[in-house]
Chains A and B, each alone.
Chain A
Amino acid sequence: MIRFLIRRVALGVLVMWLITVAVFGLFFVAPNNVARTLAGRQATPATIHLIEHRLGLDLPLWKQYTNFVGNALHGDLGFDYYHGVPVTQIIGQALPITLSLAIGAAVIWLLLGVFSGVLSAVRPRTFSDRSTTALALFFYSMPSFLLALLFLYFLYFRLTKAGFAIFPAGGYSGLTAGVGEWARHLILPWVALALLLAATYTRLTRGSMLDVLGEDYIRTARSKGLRERRVVLRHGLRSALTPVVTQFGIDLGQLVGGVVVTETVFSLPGLGKTAIDAINTQDLPVIIGIVIFASAAVVVANILVDIMYAVLDPRVRLH
């Protein structure tokens, strides 16, 4: 277990290192001259040079990189180009919003996916099984921004017009304004994000449940006289969840992408929308900071998922 952890963390560090090199390299090879943009249209070369110097853009590339990594390891991701706000502060402000969205959506998506999968597997080839799988495929094929827009159209616009102003058009309401308001603003984004990702889990849970329910130990459990509910949920589901956990690890990267789109459509000022805004203004430190932060989050989460394996399935030995 310890050896596994060490290897896994070492791999994570390697991944992060490569990502910093790649992201940094690509962004600085970019043709845009930030200093010139910042200096305005009538800037003298001296002004441009001054700005370049202040931002550290006149240092050799490797020096810029080592400075960047050194600072990042000390929890300093630099300052945004336009307002001089620390990038860590920008991330700090956006993070609670993104976490609210991502965690809420993940809970809904796992519950929805696993439950519908189990229901399908318990009654295979029935009408309810077929309609569940058809719905799953429908949402699986749905582009995230389209689903989000449809939600806005039907559940915000049409519903509000019909006199039921239940859901807001978007925006975020902090927890300080009350849990109710917070949830009301997040429910549409949560469900929009969850429905897309749940589809894979319905299919996955159904498949692995069907396999597991055919195992000898399930028959043993049944012949012991256990109730069906207990057999399915305690004996079956536990080992059927292993592939679900794997997939969850794989989907975390996708979740980041889904968050970007969902935040943009529902105007939630989380990390995704902040990144898109920064991209539109070519605010490099903010983009780099968010990309690296998100990658690190995915890497760490993947390690946690691998550990979850061993907890769920005692047959798995980590080495």
Chain B
Amino acid sequence: MSDVPPVGVGAGVDSATPSQGPAGGPGAETSTGIEGRSPWVLAWQRLRHDRVAMISLVVICLIGLVAIIAPLFASVTGHPPNQQYRGPGALSPEGLPAHPSSAFWLGTDDLGRDILVRIAYGSRISLLVGVVATGMTVAIGVVVGLAAGYLGGIVDTVLARLVDVVLSVPFLLVAVALVSITGASLTITILVIGFFSWASVARIVRGQVLSLREREFVEAARSLGASDRRIMFVDVLPNVLAPVIVYATLLIPVVIVVQATLSFLGLGLPPPTADWGGMISESVQYYTVAWWFVFFPGAALLITTLAFNLFGDGVRDAFDPRTDRLIGQK
């Protein structure tokens, strides 16, 4: 798991005014004369000039597009995702998966289903779980981190210990055991991932909030009579968003891999639902006779995680140019 260093974005910003938030984008702040540029605008400008990150973003959008238009794949090829075909072209004479051909562009699986169409449908699961579980993780982590850091005292002690506990649980083993007991479903997968992943977000947020709460703008808000809740969510929260966004972008590929791993271990969605980890799991028995059965779903998964990681790296760089990055021009 990548350890995202906390990024200090609040420095030098008049934080007492509610920050723009990520939606604020370029051109959100217009004024006459000297134009003040918020950290968000600066970050976006840096990101836009980052070729690797922009290419990754395009790839991510393409994958999203595939997920949306998955039914189009089914209608163009004429193969519904769960339809099992027999006969020449769909299965070899021995009943084994068939080679990629003009009818089945990426070949068929052990049941004579179209791998291309199933990959297209599988992207829906991966993206859905990746985004929703990450969102849940971040939401829990931010609330816990804010509460622990801002309220301090006994709340902090209890929550910090809780974070320690969650972080020292061997996640995959427990997740597998849990899912096997509750039965596999999309909701359970998302809940299990969210439940075990929020601790690192909480730790990052808590660290930031600890220093933020001593700053003047928090004192100012308090002297104006703002409630703790208001200070936490209106004044402090916007200042910890940057590291949280960076972490979230890098968490999405991790979550996608976890979901695929659960599926691979037989705890994904019940068959015949198409999902990448499950497809790869089915291919294990056939890898010696049908390379395409392993390779294409594997490639789809790898391209997705790579794109998210490269993009996340760019986002991190955009928010804090000092940090070390993996790939890039600058």
With contacts A253-B170, A291-B173, A299-B168 known, is A145 near B181, CB below 8 A? Answer: no
Compute how far the CA of A290 lies from the CA of B174 in the bound complex, rounded to whole angstroms. 10
Are A157 and B287 within 8 A (Cβ)? yes
Asked if A298 CB lies within 8 Å of chain B CBs, one says yes
CA gap between A287 and B261 in the complex, in Å = 19
* B302 adjacent to chain A (CB < 8 Å): yes
Out of A144, A200, A295, name the residue touching B261 (CB < 8 Å): A144
A141–B177 touching, CB < 8 Å: no
Q: Which residues of A contact B281 (CB under 8 A)?
A: 145
Q: Write out, one digit per residue, whether chain B residues 1-12 have a CB within 8 A of any chain A CB (1) or not (0).
A: 111000000000
Within 8 A of A (CB), among B238-265: 253, 257, 260-261, 264-265
Contacts of B167 in A (CB 8 A): 250, 253
Contacts of B287 in A (CB 8 A): 149, 152-153, 157
Min Cβ gap B67→A in Å is 19
Interface residues of A in 1-21 (CB under 8 A from B): 11, 14-15, 18-19
> Which residues on A sit within 8 Å (CB–CB) of B165?
14-15, 18-19
CB atoms of A137 and B306 under 8 A apart: yes
A135 to B233 alpha-carbon distance, docked (Å): 40
Q: Could you say which residues of chain B place their CB within 8 Å of the CB of A299?
A: 168
Q: Is the CB of A134 within 8 A of B170?
A: no
Contacts of A11 in B (CB 8 A): 161, 164
The B contact surface, by secondary structure, is helix
Contact B298 A138 (CB under 8 A): no
Q: Could you tell me which residues of chain B, from 304 to 325, have a CB within 8 Å of some CB in chain A?
A: 305-306, 308-310, 313, 323-324
Assembled-state Cα–Cα distance A100/B118 (Å): 38
Chain B contacts for A204, CB-based, 8 A = 3
Contact B172 A150 (CB under 8 A): no
Of all chain B residues, the one with the shortest Cβ separation from A156 is B288
| B217, CB-defined interface residue at 8 Å | no
From A26, A150, A264, B181 is in contact (CB under 8 Å) with A26
Interface string of B266-310 (1 = CB under 8 A from A): 100000000001001101100110010010001001100110111
Q: Is the CB of B168 within 8 A of A143?
A: no
B301: contacting residue among A137, A146, A265, CB under 8 A: A146
Nearest A residue to B303 via CB reads A141
User: Could you say which residues of chain B place their CB within 8 Å of the CB of A153?
Assistant: 287-288, 291, 294
B215 shortest CB reach to chain A, Å: 27
Q: Is the CB of B173 within 8 A of A143?
A: no
**Most A CB within 10 A of own CB, among B253, B264, B280:** B264
Q: CB-CB < 8 A to B253: which residues of A? A: 141
Docked-complex contact B327 and A134, CB < 8 angstroms: yes
CB contacts (< 8 Å) of B301 on chain A: these are 143, 146
CB contact between A203 and one of B178, B266, B326 (< 8 Å): that residue: B326
A257 at the interface (CB under 8 A from B): yes
Of residues 289 to 304 in A, which have CB atoms within 8 Å of B's CB atoms?
290-291, 294-295, 298-299, 302
**Cβ-neighbour of A291 out of B164, B170, B260, B309 (below 8 A):** B170
Does B176 reach chain A (CB closer than 8 Å)?
yes
* Cα–Cα distance between A299 and B128 once the two chains are bound (Å): 33
Residues on B with C-beta less than 8 A from A251 are 1
Query: Which of A133, A260, A302 sits near B173, CB closer than 8 Å?
Result: A260
Q: Please tell me if B20 contacts chain A, counting CB pairs below 8 Å.
A: no
In whole angstroms, what is the CA distance A272 to B173 when docked?
A: 8
Residue from B3, B161, B176, B323 in contact with A275 in the complex, judged by beta carbons closer than 8 Å: B176
CA gap between A153 and B261 in the complex, in Å = 19
Tell me the complex Cα distance, A198–B327, Å.
17
Q: Does A140 contact B (CB under 8 A)?
A: yes
Q: Please, how many angstroms separate the alpha-carbon atoms of A11 and B177 in the complex?
A: 25
| Residues from chain A with Cβ under 8 Å of B173 in the complex | 256-257, 260, 272, 275, 290-291, 294
- The residue on A at minimum CB distance from B323 is A207
List of B residues within 8 angstroms of A294 by Cβ: 170, 173
Pairs A–B under 8 Å by Cβ, sample size 9? A19-B168, A137-B310, A141-B308, A143-B277, A145-B277, A149-B284, A203-B326, A250-B3, A264-B265
List 4 extra interface pairs beyond A141-B308, A260-B173, A275-B176, CB under 8 A. Answer: A130-B327, A143-B302, A204-B3, A265-B284
